[in-house]
Structure 1
Amino acid sequence: MGVGLRVEGALWGFLAARHRCDEVWVRHDGTSSLGHVVESLGVPLPEVGRLVVGGREVTPSYRPEAGEVVRVLAVRRPQVVPSQRFLLDVHLGTLARRLRLVGVDTAYENDLDDDALIVRANAERRVLLTQDRGLLRRRSLWLGAYVRGARPEEQFTDVLERFAPSLAPWTRCPACNGPVAPVEKDEVEGRLRPGTRRSYDTFARCLVCDHVYWRGAHGAHLEAIVEEAERIVAAAALPQAK
């Protein structure tokens, strides 16, 4: 007899189609940890909030006995993390720019391999955001999370709903994550095209990479992204206020 797993519906996306049911029975050798059993079905442990056996919560290191039934519950949202600082893997560049736009501390480089990502996430205590399940299974990673969604809009919503981070729109450079501060027009005028000099008077500059910003033709689109982000975070944070 094996071990029964009752996987919460929020985690079914990680399961093979044949396992998406109320209760899955899997073979158990009597020595493997519960965490190993859960991950063998495709569910990364960072996505698991609680493991419950016989009404009591257990840790992933628990060794289940034959015939036991385990409830596998997803991480509750919004998830409280030690640090609202993030590191994104190489496939999430657009998401990184959107998070920076709304002022979330977001590190991103498009040339880091898995080992380098883990080293940086651990050293800087950043939550690693990825769609690589194998990366989330690395025991050396201090904290990670799977990003749901195929499109950047879906990924952005998922991260905001999951973490409800504090927002500070227009304070970070979308290009490098550095702080952005207002700058007088005459300080950057020589770097502007004639049309920009004639049409705009309010500018900001990144204090790290020196990139200059202004509310151009794309400003309305960016403002809509910021407004939607604020709405999502406000809604996501409501359970914490109860």
Structure 2
Amino acid sequence: MDATATIEFFGSLNDFPALSGRDNKLLYRFSGTPAVKDAIEAIGVPHPEVDVILINNQPVDFSHPLHADDKVAVYPADADKDWPVGYSLQAKHPAPNRFVLDVHLGKLARAVRMLGFDTCYENDYSDKAIAQIAEAEERIVLTRDVGLLKHKNIRWGYWLRSQYLEEQLSEVVNFFKLREKFKPFTRCLACNGRIYEVPKEIVLEQLPAQTRQYFNQFYQCDSCKRIYWKGSHYERMQQFIQKQSLSSK
């Protein structure tokens, strides 16, 4: 015989498509004693964005079994609320400042690298490969695919609400509180390698004629050997970074 529990979602968890246009307090039908994580994800909310779960006003973890007539409250990882010690699931496993992005987010990958964060991206990653990289290298998954974040071996992740680059980057910076951790121009935009300053004479033969004439300060990726210098593109990138530094929720 089916049992029911009331599950209420708070804050940004109501952004997910499955909850769009619905009351944030749902009557969930189930049989047996499923883990509360299974119930939350069956409704359409992936576990990496959940921070606190209260069942009958008591904090529980994802594995806690659901019982008939339980009252469940689910709070997001970015909730503007001070929780007592032991309530926050995210606090037990703080997110690293390393990322892996799905195949549709190439521009965002370059932007996150521009800010100096270790960012894995290839345009042919499968969902399985992303989940494996996230687990093996302890990376945050960034995606527009809600289903990807439900992989059980993904601990940290974020579903991007916007489809626009600057808004996406602001979401990531705000959600993971990255503003004080920027290290601009230390990662290669193309391959994610580290960038170091190099003497002009070392890269001289690889430079376009005008660049060779007008610029003297150069940087090179230690992986793919791509060369960077502070041309007009550098000023545009600085403006982009400054905008992110000043942006707020």
Tell me whether the two structures share a fold, i.e. TM-score over 0.5. Answer: yes
Shift of 1:17: 5.3
How far apart, in 2, do the equivalents of 1:193 and 1:61 lie?
59
90, 100, 118: which is aligned to 2:103? 90
How far apart, in 1, do the equivalents of 2:156 and 2:229 lie?
36
Shift of 1:177: 0.9
Alignment of 1:203-214 (within 5 A): 203-214=218-229
Find the residue that maps to 2:161 and give its secondary structure: coil
Find the residue that maps to 2:8 and give its secondary structure: strand
How far apart, in 1, do the equivalents of 2:216 and 2:136 lie?
41
Quick check: 105-114 or 69-78, which moved more?
Answer: 69-78
- Contact 2:19 / 2:44 at 8 angstroms: preserved in 1? no
How far apart, in 2, do the equivalents of 1:200 and 1:98 lie?
24
TM-score norm. by structure 1 comes to 0.87
Q: 1:151 to 1:82 in 2, by over 3 A?
A: closer
* Structure 1 segments unaligned to the other structure (5+ residues): 237-242
Sequence identity (%): 34
Shift of 1:143: 3.2
Residue of structure 1 equivalent to 2:234: 219
Alignment of 1:187-198 (within 5 A): 187-198=202-213
Q: 1:36 to 1:83 in 2, by over 3 A?
A: same
Q: Does 1:60 align with 2:73?
A: no
Residue of structure 1 equivalent to 2:173: 160
Residue of structure 1 equivalent to 2:215: 200
Q: How many residue pairs are counted as aligned between the two chains? A: 234
Find the residue that maps to 2:30 and give its secondary structure: coil
How far apart, in 1, do the equivalents of 2:52 and 2:7 lie?
13
Alignment of 1:16-35 (within 5 A): 16=18, 20-35=22-37
How far apart, in 2, do the equivalents of 1:140 and 1:18 lie?
27
How far apart, in 1, do the equivalents of 2:131 and 2:177 lie?
23
TM-score norm. by structure 2 comes to 0.85
Residue of structure 1 equivalent to 2:5: 3
Output the amino acid matched with 1:135: L
- Cα RMSD for the two superposed structures: 2.2
Shift of 1:148: 2.7
- Contact 1:77 / 1:162 at 8 angstroms: preserved in 2? no
Residue of structure 2 equivalent to 1:135: 148
Shift of 1:60: 2.0
Shift of 1:19: 5.7
Find the residue that maps to 2:172 and give its secondary structure: helix
Deviation readout 1:115-161 (Å, 9 max, x if unpaired): 22222222212222222222211113343332332111111111111
- Contact 1:15 / 1:41 at 8 angstroms: preserved in 2? no
* Structure 2 segments unaligned to the other structure (5+ residues): 81-89
Find the residue that maps to 2:135 and give its secondary structure: helix
Deviation readout 1:184-242 (Å, 9 max, x if unpaired): 2222222122222223222111111110111222222100122123334xx68xxxxxx
- Contact 2:15 / 2:161 at 8 angstroms: preserved in 1? no
